[in-house]
Structure 1
């Protein structure tokens, strides 16, 4: 979730409807302020972790763009304010750059997916010799104006286009910096673009920032939402509308989870070393074991991620978990068909598989196989989800 990437994704107050007969009716409630302007205290989520091993392109109504093309311009103006106001995200990058000038002084930097150019501005102010800010959306034109207005035109070059297609003006860079992470860490798959730039231009021994990410899973009680927005469709004024329920179950929810809803410990699904991994590593299957910390019900699984800048003088980073300060990535919630009655110490086990959608590589296909056999309930099922 490095831009307003949730333009078409469900939030907790959406009313789910069919593609053919209904529209998505937004019912947005005021949730209040979620953050502050102070520099974030970076607290990793390790204290809460137990380590265990459309046919063709969709067209947009009123547009000749495909869904894949629309990605590059959909958030060009609407999502940047949300991102910049995400102080956990923005202040962490700022601190990484300003407090580690030894990494940036007199270095050539590539900013992948530069957006407004805020990271490029940080790098220029932090002592970089030159910064190449690559942005594919229309925001690139605005970024040029911002760079000029702040007197950095001689240090920052804004390049508009896809990183795989641009005419890059240098043969190498010393640092690649990017805020590529999406919802569920991998949604929209901008990671592959960073890996492409790394393989093509990063010098041996060069630095990628951030360089490590970790994806986690936990489970929550959420009877109220499931009843109101999902189970509701089983019978609507005496009529079966369960086809809409199927759509609601298929698409994960991106929202801020109340920490009080968490029923189990977290488990690590996947750690990625951005300097060493290959593009194929972003597709994976991982076992999970979620041990209950209290007697409760489980209605959904929740995924979140941590980001680490380990090459800094003092390793730093941030978490998008429900026990940490909220970010614009929030958390990703996947509702289960079964309601699991779990007792303290019992474990929900399974395997989660994640892969790019074959028809639109910016979408994610997620499959969860889970099994539970406890004192008061048992369940075994395979569920499929699609983030789009």
Structure 2
């Protein structure tokens, strides 16, 4: 795969068509899922495909002998999946369900639950909550889950050029201007990259294992220690995962492995750190689900040789500090805020109240243009706005 493969967004958002294309181009991922489905799906089996995307796993399940596949997806890409099913003669076996799986019901339990709702790392969007809900409500007793397990690893990073590329636009002189105000946000963000094994400093450490048959917590936390054996400079940490889809079937996103659409996650430090033999680096990682996204924290302490009780360097970082939040927005997000609808929200409410199953979209748009003449030049403009709302909220 090309190094220009578009990254998964780290915060939850809809994938672009380009990203879906990159997922289709990831032969490492597709080959592993295809093999796992051949093992798990027996003739006549029922399969639940969570976040089916373009439908490739559903097609694979049908080819493996599935009697029925329930393919669930919130994105309009589900239209592509429907067309692909028809093109391969599987329309009578795949039931497409547009919507969030947490809000859907299935008429029968599935023998196999398949999903890939990861981002750069498994904790992405509401992935863990989605998996736990689907396993509880959709999977038959003794049913199979693909993937079975993800193991997340961490290692110190010696990726000097990658680090410099991150901070150089926000350091020093840029056409005579100091643009360093964004540097702190960049260094409190998680970045996707494709790295070499030689860029790992020292020995990797295991953070956590996600066993999807027993997973009961959407959050994750781990503390790991890296013992320094030779002089090096570290710029942060790599995190990646080893996926087990079926016994003997899987892949890894580790530095040096064949490139995948996920890439490897880079957690930068606030500054590079020179390390000497005998020193140790203690790193704590936390992934906490807040609303529809994860807030990550990574705290680092570097201890001099000789088991010094006090660290010589400490960093406390979080993706929260990587968000570009204005004081006004922070005030509006505070528990003490007494919010008042802005004009756009008032327009939305006006239109949504009229989507009651009795009023046509044109009627609602015409009324909206009259009610908000300063917002819309005419009913046609209001209709365009209303149609977007209807596409998102109506049934």
TM range (shorter): 0.7 to 0.9
How far apart are 1:345 and its partner, in Å?
5.5
Q: Find the counterpart in structure 1 of residue 44 from structure 2.
A: 106
Q: Cα offset for 1:5?
A: 8.4
Post-superposition Cα deviations, 1:84-131, rounded to whole Å, max 9, x if no partner, equal: 111110000111122x16x43221110001111111111111011211
2:237 matched residue in structure 1: 301
Q: In 2, distance between residues paired with 1:225 and 1:169?
A: 46
Higher helix share: 2
Deviation at 1:266, TM superposition (A): 0.8
Aligned to 2:184: 246
The normalised TM-score by structure 2 is: 0.73
Q: CA RMSD in A?
A: 2.5
Deviation, structure 1 residue 323: 2.7
Given that 1:112 and 1:134 are in contact with CA atoms closer than 8 Å, whether structure 2 keeps it comes out as yes
Alpha-carbon distance in 2 for matches of 1:178, 1:169: 16
Matched, 1:337 2:283: no
- Aligned-residue offset at 1:290: 1.9
1:382 paired to 2:316: yes
1:80 aligned onto 2:10: no
Residue 204 of structure 1: aligned partner: 141
Aligned mate of 1:290, from 226, 230, 234 = 226
1:207 and 1:91 mapped to 2: Cα distance? 18
Q: Which runs of 5+ in 2 are unaligned?
A: 324-395
Match among 315, 318, 325 for residue 251 of structure 2: 318
SS at match of 2:235: strand
- Structure 2 Cα separation of the partners of residues 258 and 220 of structure 1: 10
- TM-score of the pair, normalised by structure 1: 0.74
Match of 2:160 in 1: 223
Q: Tell me if 1:149 matches 2:79.
A: no
Deviation >6 Å, runs of 4+: none
CA contact (8 A) 1:263 1:294 kept: no
Q: Is the 8 A contact 2:8 2:261 kept in 1?
A: no
2:55 matched residue in structure 1:
117
How far, CA to CA, are the matches of 2:214 and 2:76 in structure 1?
A: 31
SS of 1:324's partner is coil
State the number of aligned residues: 313
Local SS of the residue matching 2:202 = coil
What are the Cα deviations for residues 103-161 of structure 1, in whole angstroms up to 9, with x where unaligned?
43221110001111111111111011211111111111111111011011122111111
Cα separation, 2, equivalents of 1:320 and 1:7: 13
Distance (Å, rounded) in 2 between the aligned partners of 1:5 and 1:205: 37
For the residue of structure 2 that corresponds to 1:199, the secondary structure is: helix
Aligned counterparts of 2:6 and 2:127: Cα–Cα separation in 1: 11
- Give the Cα–Cα distance (whole angstroms) in 2 for the partners of residues 228 and 190 of structure 1: 30
Q: 1:365 aligns with which of 284, 289, 295?
A: 295
For structure 1, the residue ranges without an aligned partner over 5 or more in a row are 10-66
